[in-house]
Amino acid sequence: MFVDSHCHLDRLSDNTHEGSLAAALTAARDVGVNQFLAIAVSLDDMPGLADIARAHQDVVISAGQHPLHEALVEPSVSDIKEAADQYGAVAIGETGLDYHYVDSVPVAVQHERFKRHLIAARELELPVVVHTREAKEDTLALLREYSDPHVGGVLHCFTEDLDMAREAVRLGFYISLSGIITFRNAQSLRELARQLPLDRLLIETDSPYLAPVPHRGKPNEPAWVVEVAECIAQARDISVDEVAMQTTANFYQLFREAVPDAPENVKQALAQAGLVGR
């Protein structure tokens, strides 16, 4: 059993299964992917994401505004909370800080936006999905000040260092690894995957972006989260089944609002293993 804990299902390429989302999800289910968290880039995305979730029982959604997505009007805490409530989001985000492309959204705007998302997540008691790039100290500082360690969240598509990952875990966060871990020059990420506790790891595709080896150069798709799990298993010298089961359990431990929508076979297997419902 696998979970794609971060994918942009409303942005899948027309070149992926001839533009058929249903076909892309079927291909993922055929290789054992049983749950998908479709991530919002803008609050304007929410109606479309909600339509996808209504059409596919194994899809749940988040509510938020990406740090690099320009907004005519910055969403307030109330706006974020109302969107999450209205559309049944199981998480807030993606949000965070990205200092690689500061020309699109100024750093000061990113900071205020991130704070509002963290406050909304804390007030709703929903986990927060964090995008962080070249902003280690500021990201951690804001998490320390505004996040709730009892609710936590995830640093998605993680590419920073082991020290940051360990501090995020200490603050109640999970670390999600994407297809980047399969890249030839990603040895540090593979070492990070080996050293972090397996019960704090998630796997994702971030599709349609960042296709893993051996699919580099193609639009990414949810089925390829399996390659991420295989790479982690190799780095840790354990079975892919162990990675699949534990990262699936981790997902439902974090995104508890997704548990009622989980496929029955997944709920039964996790309960039998004592990994949820404890």
E strand spans, 113-192: 128-133, 153-155, 173-177
pLDDT tens profile 194-223: 999 999 999 999 999 999 999 999 999 999
Nearest by Cα to 66 from 10, 14, 22? 10
Q: Which helix (H) or strand (E) is 234 found in, with range?
A: helix 225-236
CA distance 132 to 136: 7
Binding site listing for a divalent metal cation: 6, 8, 94, 131, 156, 206
Query: Quick one: which H or E segment has residue 192?
Result: helix 187-195
With a cut of 70, say whether residue 242 has pLDDT above it. yes
Q: In the predicted model, is pLDDT for residue 278 greater than 50? A: no
- Closest C-alpha among 155, 153, 158, 156 to residue 128: 153
pLDDT at res. 275: 60
Give every CB contact of residue 265 below 8 A, 6+ residues apart in sequence. Answer: 34
Q: Is the pLDDT of residue 102 over 80?
A: no
d(CA 70, CA 94): 14
Contacts with 135 (C-beta within 8 Å, 6 or more apart), sequence order: 96, 97, 98, 99
Q: Which residues are annotated as a binding site?
A: 6, 8, 94, 131, 156, 206
What domains can you pick out in the chain, each with its CATH number?
Answer: 2-272 (3.20.20.140)
Q: What is the pTM of this model?
A: 0.95
Q: What is the mean pLDDT of residues 47-66?
A: 97
